[in-house]
Amino acid sequence: MAAGRDVDVMFEKFVSGCRAALRRISAHTRGEHSVSDVEGEAWLLAEELRLEKGLTPEFGCRDYQEKIISFLYQKLVRYSEVNVRHAVRLDHAPAGAPDDAVNPLLTKLAADERLEPLAILIEREEAAADREVEPAAYESPAAAYLQLLRRFDNKMLDVATHLLISRSWCYRRFNQALNLAKLQRPLAKEAFSTAEGLEPSPWRKFRALHVRRQLELDIDTPMLI
């Protein structure tokens, strides 16, 4: 633990003493890496050198500091220049343009709207959704309740009012239909009528309402004391 703390302290001193060199590397990357990014790369590079080359991190040693700075420049600056020397950085503004300007090549390289990956995925999902035909209301009790709930905006009280039944009984029948839909195997559609326009309706003409009355005291009748 003590050695680990010593390495941390020496690394902080290395960062403080080599701040100018780290800033120069950051500037040569043209904004690809900030100064803090370069500092983090220095710490990671020290670990890579320890594992691959057996170099013990000695941030207090001048030769080791120069080696880290040289490796950082090669990795973050020279490597990028060699590999993308003739490439155009689309994420950078053109020379002489404001920093927030968009590279004109982006508009030329942009794909047609129908060829965009996101547009293709959305089109495929919509096509798949169109192929998934929902069961008609007359095909099963679960489908009937599904259609009714959608018609009445998923409000069970409105469904119960439409069917002229109590809300508790409506919930009970809905749960029974839901369990039946989970357990029953799907039936062939040929077994059902193909008539359209059918919708569950009340099975009776009216619903009797039971009005609860509070306990009443007949105060007009004389009381015997």
CB 7 within 8 A of CB 57: yes
* CA neighbor of 184 nearest in space, from 129, 143, 134, 156: 143
Using the CB atoms, write b or e for 41-55: b if 16+ within 10 Å: bbbebbeebeeeeee
Give pTM, 2 decimals. Answer: 0.39
**pLDDT tens per residue across span 55-71:** 888 888 889 999 999 99
Find all residues with CB under 8 Å of 201, minimum gap 6, and list them.
Answer: 163
How wide is the angle at C-alpha 174 spanned by C-alphas 126 and 183, nearest 5°? 75
Which tokens go with 190? Answer: 């040929």
Q: Which is more confident, 193 or 102?
A: 102
Which tokens go with 120? Answer: 């293709």
What's residue 179's pLDDT? 81
**pLDDT tens per residue across span 114-153:** 677 777 888 888 877 655 555 555 556 667 777 788 888 8
